[in-house]
Amino acid sequence: MSQSHVARQLSLEFAGWSFSAALDVVSWSYYQLRVQPAILTSNMAEQRATAYDSKIEGNVIFTRLDAALNWVRKNSLWPMPMGLACCAIELMATAASRFDIARFGAEVMRFSPRQCDVMIVAGTVTYKMALAVKRIYEQMPEPKWVIAMGACASTGGMYRSYATLQGIDQLIAVDVYISGCPPRPEALLAGLMKLQEKISRERSLRNQKPELAERLEKALP
Amino acid sequence: MTLSACRAPTLQRHKQMTSQELFDLLGKSFGDKIRRKTEFRETTFTIAADDLREIANFCRDELSFDYLLDITSIDNFGEEPRFEIVYHLYSMPHGVHLRLKLKVPDESGTVDTVSDIWPTANWHEREAYDMTGIKFNGHPDLRRILMWEGYPYFPLRKDFPLEGLPSEMPDIAFTKVTPMEGGPFVTVPSTAGSKDREPRARSPEL
């Protein structure tokens, strides 16, 4: 048998393996994902001591798919700074050196909604601005979250008048409300941490890929 | 160097005049066109709407009231005529304030524009139009400035409710009636401590 024959046979075998066995691996992972509530590693205590040892870099770590996805998402939230009033000043202070929102991975303020994960509605939403805010929110790609920063964005605040929308939650779904007029930067950071907690509890695969989740579930033993 | 030597050339053109001299000159030039002169720390001349442009031109060119600070519109709801406009003038060279006040005739609901005399009046008149619906003859661009084009009400009129009225312009803007429970927040003038004077939700009678 020539070398090329061997290679072809191997590749065929590999292709055959990849069809059936790959599905097994995926469904087994999903089974683990479904039944195990916490992060899984095989023989965890033993692994932990050596997990980042360069000699065994490339070690396999087992985890839930949702946990991995959420971990990636929550530590790199790119905010859409929707600064509409004085809360925006505190938002800027939060981003600046003294409070440094970069410590929580959210320092990349994007002024294009296409690149954003979380919209921070900072300030009074007037009716004239309301539909523009909604439109920008709709332009953000999924998954996306909203922080209503301060009294005005949450409820209209002290502006009980003909011109002010009484809370941005009348137009878009809000994940975290922050009290204060305006809230201090610490409060915004606390709100961001609350959002991170919320994201880490999300069932991302089922939310974003319901058909895939269903197929995997059917494929389970 | 004295202060007068520092002045810009345009300001040196005029002989410095006191407010008394300026107001006497205005009174002498227009006589019976000045309906009333009120002194309350600053001086207010009440005039007729028809004489506005003539007097405004005189104030700017002859008396050097070169700065229009603001235009105020007042809704005296229930009175005739209903609307009133106040022009707040200031003379840079003389350092004197002057107010011109006039009633808007009810039958027309309009006043002549002064936006060609003081360009700053352009936006002030737009705001007055937006909030109270007073129209300005000869204004180059009389559109709403705060609310959006097509908003059906004039929100600073006294018969307009504070909580607003519902309106709808698809894809542009909408308004809803604001819930007023627990508000509005008012303070009570008194010599009491700051805890008692703090703005709170109180019944309107207080």
Q: According to the model, what pLDDT value does residue A86 have?
A: 93
A174 phi and psi angles, rounded to 5 deg: -105, 135
pLDDT over 50 (residue A6): no
pLDDT of the residue at B198: 76
In angstroms, the CA B114 to CA B108 distance is: 17
- The segments of chain B whose pLDDT lies below 70 read 1-14, 182-184, 202-206
pLDDT of residue B69: 95
Interface residue A158 vs chain B (CB under 8 A):
yes
Contact A130 B173 (CB under 8 A): yes
- Residues on chain B touching A169 (C-beta within 8 angstroms): none
Q: What is the DSSP letter of A9?
A: H
Concatenate the DSSP letters of all residues of A166-200 into one string. S-GGGTS--SEEE-SSSPPHHHHHHHHHHHHHHHH
In B, residues 151-180, which contact A (CB 8 Å cutoff)? 153, 155, 160-165, 171-176, 178-180
pLDDT in tens, A102-113: 999 999 998 999
Q: What is the mean pLDDT of chain A?
A: 80
CB-CB under 8 Å, A131 with B164:
no
CA distance A97 to A158: 31
Rounded Cα distance between A200 and A105, Å, is 14
CB-based burial label for B59 (10 Å; 0-12, 13-18, 19+): buried
Test A131 with B174 for CB contact under 8 angstroms: yes
Q: What is the pLDDT of residues A169-191, one digit of tens each?
A: 999 999 999 999 999 999 999 99
Q: Is the pLDDT of residue A153 over 90?
A: yes
In chain B, beta strands by DSSP E: 34-40, 42-47, 67-75, 83-91, 96-103, 110-112, 135-137, 167-169, 173-175, 185-186, 200-201
pLDDT, residue B191, reads: 83
Whole-number pLDDT of residue A174 = 96
Beta bridge partners of B42: B40
Q: How confident is the model at residue A161 (pLDDT cuts 50, 70, 90)?
A: confident
The secondary element (H helix, E strand) that includes residue A145 is strand A145-149
Q: What angle do CA A146, A152, A153 make, to 5 degrees?
A: 10
- The CA distance from B117 to B113, in Å, is 9
Quick one: pLDDT band at residue A217, thresholds 50, 70, 90? confident
The pLDDT value recorded for residue A13 is 41
Residue A52 near chain B (CB below 8 Å): no
SS3 B99: strand
- On the 0-12 / 13-18 / 19+ scale of CB atoms within 10 A, B183 is middle
- B/e letters for B61-100, b = 16+ CB within 10 Å, e = fewer, are eebbbbebbebebbbeeeeeebbbbebbbebebbebbbbb
Facing B178 at nearest CB: one of A128, A131, A161:
A161
Strands B96-103 and B110-112: unpaired
- Classified as helix, coil or strand, B132 is helix
State the best of B172, B178, B185 to mutate against chain A, taking most chain A CBs within 10 Å. Answer: B178
- Predicted pLDDT of residue B35: 86
| pLDDT of A51 | 52
Predicted local confidence at residue B34, as pLDDT: 84
**Contact with chain B for residue A130, Cβ under 8 A:** yes
A171 and chain B in contact, CB less than 8 A: no
Spatial CA neighbour of A130 closest among A103, A151, A152: A152
What is the reported pLDDT for A41? 47
- Cβ separation A127–B162 shorter than 8 A: no
Under 8 Å CB-to-CB from B110, ≥6 apart: which residues? B104, B134, B135, B136, B137
- Structure confidence at residue A1 as a pLDDT band (50, 70, 90): very low
Span A50-72, pLDDT tens digits: 455 566 566 667 788 889 999 99
With helix as H, strand as E and coil as C, how does B44-74 read? EEEECHHHHHHHHHHHHHCCCCCEEEEEEEE
The kind and range of the H/E element at A44 are: helix A44-50
Residues 6+ apart with CB under 8 A from A217: A30, A34
